[in-house]
A and B are shown apart, each in its own frame.
Chain A
Amino acid sequence: RKEVEQDPGPFNVPEGATVAFNCTYSNSASQSFFWYRQDCRKEPKLLMSVYSSGNEDGRFTAQLNRASQYISLLIRDSKLSDSATYLCVVNGNYGGSQGNLIFGKGTKLSVKP
Chain B
Amino acid sequence: DTGVSQDPRHKITKRGQNVTFRCDPISEHNRLYWYRQTLGQGPEFLTYFQNEAQLEKSRLLSDRFSAERPKGSFSTLEIQRTEQGDSAMYLCASSTGTDTQYFGPGTRLTVL
Residues of chain A touching chain B, judged by Cβ–Cβ distance below 8 Å, are 4, 8, 32, 34, 42-46, 49, 87, 89, 91-92, 98-106
How many interface residues does chain B have, given as a range?
20 to 34
When the two chains form the complex, which single residue of A49, A91, A103 contacts B42, counting CB atoms closer than 8 Å? A103
Residue of B nearest to A6 (CB): B42
Whether the pair B105, A42 counts as a contact (CB closer than 8 A) is: yes
Query: What is the chain A residue whose CB lies nearest that of B41?
Result: A105
Residues of B within 8 A of A105 (CB): 40-42
For A101, list chain B residues within 8 Å (CB).
33, 35, 43, 45, 93, 101
7 other contacts beyond A87-B42, A99-B48, with CB at 8 A cut-off?
Answer: A34-B99, A43-B91, A43-B105, A49-B99, A101-B45, A103-B44, A106-B42
Q: Is there contact, CB below 8 Å, between B106 and A43?
A: yes
Q: How far is the CB of B50 from chain A (nearest CB, A)?
A: 9
* Chain B CB within 10 A, most for which of A4, A44, A89: A44
Residues of B within 8 A of A45 (CB): 103
Q: Mark B92-110, 1 if CB is under 8 A from A, else 0.
A: 0101011111111110000
Q: Are A98 and B97 in contact (CB under 8 A)?
A: yes
Q: Quote the shortest CB–CB distance from A11 to chain B (angstroms).
A: 16
Instruction: Tell me, yes or no, whether B31 is within 8 Å of chain A by CB.
Output: yes
